[in-house]
Amino acid sequence: AIEAEIEKLPPRTREVLKSVYLDGLSYRETADRFSISIATVKTLLVNALKYLRKSFPGSGTSGSNELDTGTIDRKVKSHFFLP
């Protein structure tokens, strides 16, 4: 499910996503870890969430064909924080 979709992300995007959600790093700490700007961290996260929303059509709470950002955010967090 979501694990497979996360693995399909480009390596840098996947690592930034994991740094923020799994490691709990701030945008600044993540930027420093990868020697990129905070703006790049934000862009990579937005792109990752857009991709993940498109990967789960028809599950949105707003009746749209995409999951809302909050739902994906919760799915990503639960993926990283559940044993």
Distances from the Cα of 63 to the Cαs of 52, 67, 73, 78, in angstroms? 17, 9, 18, 23
Tokens of 46: 């937005």
- pLDDT tens by residue, 5-28: 899 999 999 999 999 988 899 999
Residue with structure tokens 């739902």? 71
Structure confidence at residue 39 as a pLDDT band (50, 70, 90):
very high
Say which residue, 38 or 1, is predicted with more confidence. 38
Distance separating alpha carbons of residues 24 and 21, to the nearest angstrom: 5
Q: Which tokens belong to 70? A: 């909050």
